Amino acid sequence: MSENRQTPQKTGGSTVVETAADTTNTGGAGAEPRSALDRFFHISERGSSVGTEIRAGVVTFFAMAYIVLLNPLIIGTGEDSTGHALGIPQVAAVTALVAGVMTILFGLIANYPFGIATGLGLNTLVAVTLVSTEGLTWEEAMGLVVIDGIIIVILAVSGFRSAVFAAIPPSMKAAIGVGIGLFIAMIGFVDSGFVRRIPDAAMTTVPVQLGNGGSIAAWPTFVFILGLVICGFMVVRNIPGGLFIGIVLNTIIALIVEAITHSGSSADSPTGWSLAVPSMPNALGGIPDLSLVGAVDIVGAFSRIGVISASLLVFTLVLANFFDAMGTMTALGKQAQLSNEDGVLPDMKKALVVEGVGAIVGGAGSASSATVYVDSSAGIADGARTGLANIVTGLLFLAAMFFTPLYEVVPIEAAAPVLVVVGALMMMQITEIQWGEFYIALPAFLTIVTMPFTYSIANGIGVGFIAFSLMALFAGKAKDVHWLMWLISGLFVVFFTIDPIMAAIG
């Protein structure tokens, strides 16, 4: 049996926590490969085992599976300027298809345990900005997403994306990791109902509250809290596959609670389940509707709103996509102990090219841009170290197209505790930041807090980069800042002021 345990590990002068695979199966990191599968994925070399990778791949799937339910609600219901809506079943099918194909492709080529699926934030940008505000059709909006992906791939092939990674100071890389940790913990708190948005009708300046009206007396929230205790116990006691076991136990508890309480959906009651209501499926699904695949118009947006306006929208997509992926891969690589001392992954260029293809495939499939998923940290925390875990995750996404009710059994409240636990583990990178130097401390702090507060990795990176460049200038250290940091900071200024720029050009 393989075992995962939290062990202190010295890396780059600071202590971090590594989820290490038991050497019973693997023979330890750098052990002699035992099979063709082992040699292809470097499983023993990275201190893992086939069993660990399979189990962790399942954990990653359940941590990411909510996107198949959520993406249709974001881009599947709204009508474009022609009155056309993509449709919830159709978007669910292509979301699972794109996630499955790209996650498997990333595992085979990049050999990292980073799942890929439709990017949250990017899909909202498509639905709200491109379609609702700018008046594009869904086909035209997805055409811009494809163009965004092509540009991202070109930037990766040219080496520009890798150069940007290398130009980021170590303290900012650590801040990105910590910020993402807080971000995914916030996702867990909000999705579980433990933290909720206060309705505007309350006329208060406080944006969020504990539970429902300050009360956490709701059965789904109870399941989350109990699940958090269970997952915390698993990690503290170094239980092999603890997070996987936690999700299974949380799901069983959720099924029992719903059978007794009949809490229902949050659409019907504020104390109901957030997305999926846990219940055993009555059917196994059916043939998925993939009619949206290929429904794109590459040039339509340029004729509808003009070349300049369409180009600015593409710029917005590229910058958001570029830095969402950059931040996520930086954090996941450090968490999995796969990065070098500078926080850079080996074969980074290859991974960035495949990730860029995700935007092309996502747009072509009408699922919106697909990118590396921060929720992959759940599988990494359970021992994933290679692309084999991705193969498992991807296959489960493909199966989800046909067996939709099966993944709906697991409510987000059962998986959310894992996100909070992983967020706590990622906070350990905070010791790598030089808090004694204020010109470093302020940008790092702004990076960390902006991500969860704005629900955007790209926003946190942008604010942090701008602040770092300015603070270095004020400290008389402008020459120490890489020219790419100055360039990216300038681009983010444009990114944050894109609305008035577009308004000025009509």
For tokens 């433990």, name the residue. 194
User: How far is the C-alpha of 351 from the C-alpha of 111, rounded, in Å?
Assistant: 8
The two tokens of residue 465 are 């980069």
Q: Is the pLDDT of residue 382 over 70?
A: yes
Q: Is the pLDDT of residue 28 over 80?
A: no
Range with lowest mean pLDDT among 164-178, 279-293, 327-341, 346-360: 279-293
Q: What pLDDT is attached to residue 53? A: 97
**Residue among 363, 372, 373 nearest 313 (CA):** 363
> At 121, is the pLDDT very low, low, confident or very high (cuts 50, 70, 90)?
confident
Cβ partners under 8 Å of residue 17, min gap 6: 6, 7, 8, 9, 425, 428
Q: What pLDDT is attached to residue 85? A: 92
Q: Residue 232: is it exposed, middle or buried by C-beta count within 10 angstroms (0-12/13-18/19+)?
A: middle
Residue range 299-308: average pLDDT? 91
> At 11, is the pLDDT very low, low, confident or very high (cuts 50, 70, 90)?
very low
Q: What pLDDT is attached to residue 202? A: 63
Cβ partners under 8 Å of residue 287, min gap 6: 402
Q: Is the pLDDT of residue 92 over 50?
A: yes
**What ranges make up the beta strands (E) of 357-466?**
370-372
Q: What pLDDT is attached to residue 41? A: 95
- pTM of the full predicted structure? 0.78
> At 18, is the pLDDT very low, low, confident or very high (cuts 50, 70, 90)?
very low
**Which carries the bigger pLDDT value, residue 20 or residue 299?**
299
The two tokens of residue 292 are 């949206």
Residue range 143-166: average pLDDT? 92
Q: Is the pLDDT of residue 295 over 50?
A: yes
Which long-range CB contacts under 8 A does 340-343 form with residues at least 24 apart? 341/11, 341/12, 342/166, 342/170, 343/12, 343/165, 343/168, 343/170, 343/173, 343/174
Q: What pLDDT is attached to residue 4? A: 38
Amino acid at site 191: D
**Strand pairing partners for 212?**
215
Residues of the chain with pLDDT > 90, as a percent, come to 50
Residue range 101-115: average pLDDT? 97
Q: What is the mean pLDDT of the chain?
A: 86
Say if CB 89 and CB 73 are below 8 A apart: no
Q: What does DSSP say about strands 195-197 and 116-118: parallel, antiparallel, or unpaired?
A: unpaired
Number of residues in the chain? 506
Q: Is the pLDDT of residue 240 over 90?
A: no
User: How far is the C-alpha of 145 from the C-alpha of 137, rounded, in Å?
Assistant: 13
- 130-150 pLDDT, tens digit per residue, is 998 889 999 999 999 999 999
> At 384, is the pLDDT very low, low, confident or very high (cuts 50, 70, 90)?
very high
Say if CB 468 and CB 481 are below 8 A apart: yes
Amino acid at site 1: M
Range with lowest mean pLDDT among 301-315, 322-336, 397-411: 397-411
For tokens 């059978």, name the residue. 259
- 243-253 pLDDT, tens digit per residue, is 888 888 998 99
Q: What pLDDT is attached to residue 24? A: 36
**Which carries the bigger pLDDT value, residue 40 or residue 499?**
40
Q: What pLDDT is attached to residue 120? A: 80
Residue range 444-463: average pLDDT? 92
Helix (H) or strand (E) holding 407: helix 404-408
Residue 463 dihedral angles phi and psi, to the nearest 5°: -60, -40
